[in-house]
Amino acid sequence: MRKTLTRTVAVLALSAGVLGLGGGIASADEISAPVVVPSHPTGADYVNAWNQSGALLGAGAAGLVSSAWAGAIPSIIQGAAGSLG
């Protein structure tokens, strides 16, 4: 019973990891930091700077999460392999 449960959990965790990696790819195209506002800005300049900053923040957060997730997969596999043996 215990081995079956462990194997089932391992398969579910690996399946979720594969699906999560496939859907968790993000990129920031044509945006560079720091975002520069012109010397005589208009309202649109502030809105554009705000949107670009948000895109950079989102791309950074996505990169952090995918790096952590990529590091978690070997740990999950190693833990599952150790508990099955």
- Taking 3-state DSSP, the helix, strand and coil percentages for the chain, each rounded to the nearest 5, stand at 75, 0, 25
| 3-state secondary structure (DSSP) of residue 71 | helix
What pLDDT score was predicted for residue 22? 47
Asked if residue 34 has a cis previous peptide bond (ω within 30° of 0), the answer is yes
Count of structural domains, the chain? 1
Q: pLDDT digit string (tens) for 2-45?
A: 667 666 766 666 665 554 544 444 444 566 667 778 888 888 88
Q: Which domain holds residue 20?
A: 1-83
How far is residue 21's CA from residue 70's CA, in Å, rounded to a whole number? 8
pTM of the model: 0.42
Residue 12 near residue 76 (C-beta atoms within 8 A): no
Task: Count other Cβ atoms within 10 Å, centred on residue 5.
Answer: 9
Q: What is the DSSP code (8-state) at residue 29?
A: T
